[in-house]
Amino acid sequence: MASAVTNGSAIDVAGLVAQLMQLERRPLVALQKREQAIQSRLSAYGRVQGALASLESALSRLRQPSAFSSTKATVSGAAVTATSSSSAAVGRYSVAVTQLARSQSFASAPVASASTDIGAGTVTVRNAAGTVVATLQIGDAGIGTLTELRDELNAAGVGVRASLVNDGGQVRLVLNATATGTANAFTVEVGAGVSLSFTQTQAAQNAQFSVNGLALSSASNTVSDALEGVTLNLAQVGTAEVAVEIAPDAVKETVANFVKAYNDVENLIDELTKYDPGTKTAAVLNGESTLRRIQAQLRALVAATKTAAAGEYARLSEVGIEVQRDGTLRLDDTKFTNAVSADAAKVARLFTTTSTVASEQGFAVRLRTQVQELLAPQGPLDARQEGLRSSIRALDAQQERLEARLAVIERRLTEQYSKLDALLASRQQQSLALGNALAGLSSGQQAK
């Protein structure tokens, strides 16, 4: 208190008001904690929404018949290599290559160096049809050189690549067609004034080959139109056997992605709704019926029996996708691979069948529809999140009104205690003055 008096104040107004306002703010703090809790629930629902979106993406792929027609091409023999896509027909093909496609090449007569003067004039390039595609003028600077001709031809961009080659201390200009096949052949004509000649070193030719005895020709050694969905790369003259088969591993990967996405949703819901009786701790969405309904709907679908014709698969467990005790799915690799290898189309129908009757729909089709409904605007997730956002808006409004009220209270308290402080300070000054006066009287009496 002595320091307050020294500073001209009888009481610590700011400190006292701060302590009183701390009590007054308790309702505001409670509102803020409520809002934080609701915001946590809203964020948790956002995580669920993201997990369901990933599941929907996996199901979108799984519901396509092409997901079950991934193939692989296996080649025996060195004549070709091959790759296949999902559009390839399963089968075995005998390929015989009798001639590879080649590009045309010319070489000039040798000259002393790349900068040797070969004169001035025109060099004309024609395509396989005899049409002029480039007329090059060299020697404009006084002398023409192989370097100049090379650069002009490459800049023309007519499907011919020019390069300089050393030949026993001399230099030649070599011209190569950039593509194989007779349709990409060319000729080169040297005009008067240019002292240079060209000789064909390799003729253009098409590839000649057969598939299962059918004779075929191609301008390129990469052939993508002989077998639908299969690209053959002709490597050398000879024979090869190409086997196109369903690729179970590629199909299994698509199904495994679905299983993972489904389990991510299942595990996330469990994590967000769990309750630990030992610590008496509840997760952020414990007690949220919306999540439990979503979980129950998904579990019912993966455990359902599809209406199917005799001999068709009707349950996921029949192809190795089994529901575990905790609600998650487990993929039996061996069982699934065997099912795909035996009849991939039959497995595909279990997932991809479309129908106006829900029970006849493939599992991927039906599950995707359900997930889309869950994620749809005004769907259960959207409705619950909007309810939480509405609660936050209401709490914000309450806090705003309470903040305004608290500001009034703080001003009133500051004014009241400031007046009290001034009054106490005045009384202290009066008391001090009276004490000094009495002390003076006492001293005077003692002096007499």
Q: Is residue 442 part of a domain?
A: no
Query: What Å distances lie between residue 287 and 273, 283, 284, CA to CA?
Result: 7, 9, 9
pLDDT at 410 over 90: no
Boundaries of domain holding 367: 1-70+248-428
- Tell me the pLDDT tens digit for each residue of 207-260: 999 999 999 999 999 999 999 999 999 999 999 999 999 988 989 999 999 999
174 and 252 together in one domain? no
Q: Is residue 446 part of a domain?
A: no
Q: Is residue 438 part of a domain?
A: no
Determine the average pLDDT of the residues in 153-157: 95
148 and 286 together in one domain? no
Determine if residue 199 is left, alpha or beta; phi over 0 gives left, psi from -120 to 50 gives alpha, anything else beta. Answer: beta
Q: Is residue 357 part of a domain?
A: yes
In the chain, pLDDT over 90 holds for what percent of residues?
A: 71
Residue-level pLDDT at 444:
58
pLDDT at 321 over 50: yes
128 and 15 together in one domain? no
Confidence of residue 3 (pLDDT cuts 50, 70, 90): very low
CATH code for the domain of 413: 1.20.1330
Residue-level pLDDT at 388:
92
For residues 427 and 156, the model is more confident at 156
pLDDT at 1 over 80: no
Confidence of residue 446 (pLDDT cuts 50, 70, 90): low
Query: How many Cβ atoms from other residues are within 10 Å of residue 296's Cβ?
Result: 11
394 and 261 together in one domain? yes
Query: What Å distances lie between residue 78 and 53, 207, 233, 237, 245, CA to CA?
Result: 47, 16, 11, 9, 19
Q: Is residue 16 part of a domain?
A: yes
In sequence order, the β-bridge partners of residue 225 are: none
Determine the average pLDDT of the residues in 310-324: 95
For residue 359, give both structure tokens: 């029970």
pLDDT at 6 over 60: no
pLDDT at 157 over 60: yes
Confidence of residue 146 (pLDDT cuts 50, 70, 90): very high
Cβ neighbourhood burial of 112 (10 Å; 0-12, 13-18, 19+): exposed
Determine the average pLDDT of the residues in 33-50: 92
80 and 56 together in one domain? no
Determine the average pLDDT of the residues in 82-110: 95
Q: Give 13-17's long-range contacts (Cβ < 8 A, gap of 24+).
A: 13/414, 13/417, 13/418, 13/421, 14/414, 16/417, 17/410, 17/413, 17/414, 17/417
- Tell me the pLDDT tens digit for each residue of 257-291: 999 999 999 999 999 999 888 888 999 999 889 99
79 and 134 together in one domain? no
Q: What three-state secondary structure class fits 72?
A: strand
Residue-level pLDDT at 16:
86
Residue-level pLDDT at 445:
59
Confidence of residue 87 (pLDDT cuts 50, 70, 90): confident
For residues 160 and 23, the model is more confident at 160
Q: Is residue 292 part of a domain?
A: yes
pLDDT at 22 over 60: yes
Q: Is residue 444 part of a domain?
A: no
Determine the average pLDDT of the residues in 374-401: 91
127 and 196 together in one domain? yes
258 and 237 together in one domain? no
Q: Is residue 447 part of a domain?
A: no
Q: In sequence order, what DSSP letters do the residues of 156-216 get, joined into one string?
A: H-SSEEEEEEEETTEEEEEEEESS-SGGG-EEEEEPTTB---EEEEE--B-EEEEETTEEE
For residues 317 and 5, the model is more confident at 317
87 and 168 together in one domain? no
The label of the residue with tokens 């967000």 reads: 272
- Say which residues have a Cβ less than 8 Å from residue 93's Cβ, sequence separation at least 6: 211, 212, 227, 230, 241, 242, 243, 244
Confidence of residue 399 (pLDDT cuts 50, 70, 90): confident
> pTM of the prediction?
0.70
267 and 329 together in one domain? yes
Overall domain count for the chain:
3
- Tell me the pLDDT tens digit for each residue of 111-121: 999 999 999 99
Vertex 52, ends 247 and 33: CA angle to 5°? 150
Residue-level pLDDT at 155:
96
217 and 361 together in one domain? no
Residue-level pLDDT at 19:
87
163 and 309 together in one domain? no
Query: What Å distances lie between residue 368 and 1, 256, 361, 365, CA to CA?
Result: 75, 16, 11, 5
Lowest mean pLDDT among 6-20, 156-170, 329-343: 6-20
What is the average pLDDT value for the chain, to the nearest integer? 91
